[in-house]
C-alpha cells in the first residue's frame, strides 16, 4: 500500500447548481539526486516527506521533489525555498539555492543493453538563471494527469558558511494558493572544498556549433566568443575545463623567420578562466581556475618552420602569463596505423619548438613513442580487460606517471545497442543510471588516473537537428552532449544561456567526491581513502550500483573529515 501524501486542489464550481467536480489530488515525495524519476514510474512504497542533506563548505548538493497528479491535471504548481537558518543566527540565503524544472527527453532507442527507450529527465530549466539573473518560463508548471514531474533543487554552500545544522522549508503552491510546506535540513561539515578541481580534466566544446544552435547561423566572431564565455563559465561551475572553446586562434603573421601574434582577443577569451577571475567573489566557486587548456591550431602556420615558430611563441606567451603548466597540444585523436609516422614527426616538431610543451594522444602507452607523447590517454575500456571478451583496443602494456583516460561509445556500443560486453561500464548517457554518470572520479582514484578527457559537451549542436529533440549520436543518447541551447523561445527570458543537464550535475558530484578522497588521503593517509574507494569499486566495469551505498560512504567520509578538521583546530 502506498502512503499517499495528498495536496488538495480547490475545486471550481460547475454551472450546475450544487455540483462540484471532485478535487484533484497531487501525490508528492522527495528523493536524492541520483534518482532519475521517469514520467510513469510508480511512486515509492514509502513516500519521503522531508529533505535531509549534508555538504562541505564550497560544495553544491542537490535533491528532488517529485509531483504526480492522481486524478486530473493541475494547471499551476510551483515550489519555493526559504532561507536556511543555522547555528548562532547564521543564515544560508535562498539566493544560493536554484530551483530547476526537469524537462524530459523522449529517447527513440536505448543507448545500450542497460538503457531504455522512452522519456527520461535531463535538461534543467532554472526558475531564475545564474548567468544573467533572468526569470525563465518553467514555473509555475502544469502537472499532467498520472505523470510524475520531478523538480531539481540545488543548494550551494558558500566557503564562509558556519558549520552546523541549517533548517528551512520548501513551500508548494497549487493554483496560486499556498498549500503545504516540507522541512529541509542541511548539515554543513567543518571542512571546505577547493574551488579548482584537484582532478585535471578537459572536455571539448565547439563555439561555432553553439552559435548555430542559438542563432540559427554564423553571425560574427563576437557572438561566438560571447556564447563561448557563458558555456566555459557553466563548465567551470561544474569543475570542468574546456578545450576547443571559440575555436578562433590568435591572429598570426609570419615575416621570414619572425612571427607576430596578436593575443588580445584570445587572451580576453581564455585569460579569466586561467587566472581565476571568471567566477567573481559573489559567485559560487569564486576563484576557480581551468585545470587545462589546449594549444589552438592556426591555419596561418603552413610549413614546418612556421609551425615551430608559432608553437614556440605560444609556449613563451603562456610562460609569461603563468599558464604554461596547464597547456597541452592535442596531437592526434585515436591514431590509426597509417597515421603513426606523421604523428611521431609532428610530435617531435612540437618538442623542437619547446621540449616542455606536452603532447596528448588518445592511445595506450607504447615504449617507442616515449619521446613524443607526454599525456597518454587510453580508453577506460583498455585499462582493464573484461574477461570472456576479445579486446578491441591496444592493451595497457605499461603504466605512465601522467596517465589520463577517456570514455567513448566503446562503453555502450557505437552503432546501436551493443551486447553483453557493454554492460557495467561508466557512461554519460541520459538513460544510464545516476551512479554510472557519477562514478568516473572514483574509478580514477582507484587506478591513479591523473586526468580525464571527454570529446565534447555540445556535439549535437553541430549536427543538422535541434538539440532539444535529438541528441542520439554514435549509438548513445546524449553522447558528447551535456548541455542544451537555452534560447528564449524555449525557456523564456530575453537572453540566450546554456541549459545544464542532470548528467552535468552528476559529473560534478563525482568530482566533489574526488575532493573528499583527496582531503582524506592528505589528512588520514592514502590507505584510508583506498579503503572507502574499494568498498564501492571492484574494477572499471564492476562498481556498486545502489545509490544508497554511495551516499552512505560519502556520509562516512564527510563525518570523518569534519571530525578530523575539528581536532586539527
pLDDT in tens, 224-253: 999 999 999 999 999 999 999 999 999 999
Q: For 469-475, what is the mean pLDDT?
A: 94
6-192 carries CATH number 2.60.40.10: yes
pLDDT value of position 22:
52
CA-to-CA distance for 328 and 330, rounded, in angstroms? 6
CA-to-CA distance for 230 and 214, rounded, in angstroms? 12
pLDDT value of position 537:
98
pLDDT value of position 568:
77
Q: For 310-327, what is the mean pLDDT?
A: 98
Q: Give yes or no for residue 364 having a pLDDT over 70.
A: yes
CA-to-CA distance for 525 and 518, rounded, in angstroms? 10
Gyration radius from the chain CA atoms: 25
Quickly count: other Cβ atoms within 10 Å of residue 545's Cβ.
15
Q: For 9-28, what is the mean pLDDT?
A: 52
**What is the chain's mean pLDDT, rounded?**
93
Nearest to 171 by CA among 193, 146, 139: 139
- Tally of residues, the chain: 569
pLDDT in tens, 171-223: 999 998 888 899 999 999 999 999 999 999 999 999 999 999 999 999 999 99
32 and 42 in contact (C-beta within 8 Å)? Answer: no
How would you classify the pairing of strands 201-204 and 451-454?
Answer: parallel
Look up residue 161 and give its three cell numbers: 558558511
What separation in angstroms does the CA of 150 have from each of 33, 121, 354, 417?
A: 11, 8, 52, 28
pLDDT value of position 23:
53
Helix axis angle, 304-321 to 264-275, nearest 10°: 50
pLDDT band at 367 (very low <50, low <70, confident <90, very high): confident
Percent with pLDDT over 90 in the chain: 86
Please enumerate in sequence order all residues whose Cβ is within 8 A of that of 566, keeping only pairs 6 or more positions apart, or say none.
190
- Name the strand (E) or helix (H) holding 98: strand 97-107
pTM: 0.94
Nearest to 126 by CA among 86, 146, 156: 156
pLDDT in tens, 522-535: 999 999 999 999 99
pLDDT band at 519 (very low <50, low <70, confident <90, very high): very high
Q: Give yes or no for residue 358 having a pLDDT over 80.
A: yes
Q: Give yes or no for residue 485 having a pLDDT over 60.
A: yes
Nearest to 332 by CA among 321, 341, 343: 343
CA-based end-to-end distance of the chain: 50
Nearest to 483 by CA among 512, 523, 454, 449: 454
Q: In the chain, where are the structural domains located?
A: 6-192, 201-249+266-297+362-560
pLDDT band at 464 (very low <50, low <70, confident <90, very high): confident
Q: Give yes or no for residue 124 having a pLDDT over 90.
A: yes
Q: For 116-138, what is the mean pLDDT?
A: 98
Amino acid at each position: 500500500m502506498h502512503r499517499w501524501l495528498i495536496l488538495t486542489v480547490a475545486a471550481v464550481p460547475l454551472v450546475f447548481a450544487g455540483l462540484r467536480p471532485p478535487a484533484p489530488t497531487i501525490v508528492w515525495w522527495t528523493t536524492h539526486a541520483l534518482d532519475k524519476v521517469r514520467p510513469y514510474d510508480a511512486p515509492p512504497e514509502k513516500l519521503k516527506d522531508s529533505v535531509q542533506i549534508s555538504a562541505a563548505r564550497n560544495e553544491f548538493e542537490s535533491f528532488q521533489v517529485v509531483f504526480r497528479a492522481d486524478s486530473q491535471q493541475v494547471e499551476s504548481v510551483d515550489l519555493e525555498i526559504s532561507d536556511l537558518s543555522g547555528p548562532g543566527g547564521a543564515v544560508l540565503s535562498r539566493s544560493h539555492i536554484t530551483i530547476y524544472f526537469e524537462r524530459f527527453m523522449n529517447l527513440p532507442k536505448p543507448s545500450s543493453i542497460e538503457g531504455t527507450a522512452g522519456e527520461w529527465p535531463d535538461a534543467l530549466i532554472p526558475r531564475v538563471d545564474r548567468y544573467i539573473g533572468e526569470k525563465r518560463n518553467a514555473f509555475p508548471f502544469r502537472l499532467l494527469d498520472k505523470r510524475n514531474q520531478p523538480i531539481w533543487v540545488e543548494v550551494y554552500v558558500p566557503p564562509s558558511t558556519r558549520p552546523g545544522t541549517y533548517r528551512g522549508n520548501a513551500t508548494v503552491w497549487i493554483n496560486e494558493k499556498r498549500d503545504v510546506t516540507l522541512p529541509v535540513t542541511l548539515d554543513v561539515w567543518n571542512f571546505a572544498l577547493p574551488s579548482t578541481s584537484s582532478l585535471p580534466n578537459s572536455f571539448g566544446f565547439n563555439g561555432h556549433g553553439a552559435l548555430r544552435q542559438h542563432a540559427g547561423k554564423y553571425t560574427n566572431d563576437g557572438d561566438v566568443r560571447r556564447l563561448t564565455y557563458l558555456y566555459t563559465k557553466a563548465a567551470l561551475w561544474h569543475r570542468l575545463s574546456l578545450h576547443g572553446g571559440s575555436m578562433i586562434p590568435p591572429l598570426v603573421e609570419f615575416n621570414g623567420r619572425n612571427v607576430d601574434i596578436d593575443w588580445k582577443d584570445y587572451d580576453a577569451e581564455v585569460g579569466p578562466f586561467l587566472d581565476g577571475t571568471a567566477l567573481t567573489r559573489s559567485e559560487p566557486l569564486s576563484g576557480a581556475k581551468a585545470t587545462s587548456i589546449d594549444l589552438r591550431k592556426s591555419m596561418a602556420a603552413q610549413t614546418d618552420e612556421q609551425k615551430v615558430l608559432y608553437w614556440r611563441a605560444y609556449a613563451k606567451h603562456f610562460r609569461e602569463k603563468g599558464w604554461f603548466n596547464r597547456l597541452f597540444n592535442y596531437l592526434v585523436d585515436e591514431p590509426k596505423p597509417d597515421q603513426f609516422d606523421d604523428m611521431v614527426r609532428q610530435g617531435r616538431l612540437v618538442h623542437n619548438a619547446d621540449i616542455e610543451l606536452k603532447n596528448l594522444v588518445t592511445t595506450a602507452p607504447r615504449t617507442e613513442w616515449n619521446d613524443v607523447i607526454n599525456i597518454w590517454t587510453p580508453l577506460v575500456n583498455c585499462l582493464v580487460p573484461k574477461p570472456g571478451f576479445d579486446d578491441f583496443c591496444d592493451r595497457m602494456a605499461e603504466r605512465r606517471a601522467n596517465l589520463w583516460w577517456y570514455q567513448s561509445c566503446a562503453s555502450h556500443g557505437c552503432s546501436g545497442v551493443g551486447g553483453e560486453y557493454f554492460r557495467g561500464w561508466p557512461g554519460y548517457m541520459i538513460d544510464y543510471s545516476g551512479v554510472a554518470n557519477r562514478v568516473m572520479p572514483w574509478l580514477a582514484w582507484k587506478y591513479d588516473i591523473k586526468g580525464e578527457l571527454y570529446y565534447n559537451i555540445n556535439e549535437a549542436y553541430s549536427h543538422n537537428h535541434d538539440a532539444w529533440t535529438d541528441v542520439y549520436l554514435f549509438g548513445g543518447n546524449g553522447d558528447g552532449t551535456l548541455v542544451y541551447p537555452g534560447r528564449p523561445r524555449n525557456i523564456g527570458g530575453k537572453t540566450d544561456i546554456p541549459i545544464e543537464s542532470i548528467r552535468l550535475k552528476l559529473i560534478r558530484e563525482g568530482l566533489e567526491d574526488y575532493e573528499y578522497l583527496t582531503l582524506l588521503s592528505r589528512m588520514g593517509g592514502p590507505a584510508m581513502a583506498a579503503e572507502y574507494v574499494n568498498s564501492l569499486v571492484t574494477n572499471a566495469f564492476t562498481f556498486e550500483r545502489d545509490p544508497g551505498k554511495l551516499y552512505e560512504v560519502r556520509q562516512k567520509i564527510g563525518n570523518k573529515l569534519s571530525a578530523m578538521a575539528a581536532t586539527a583546530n
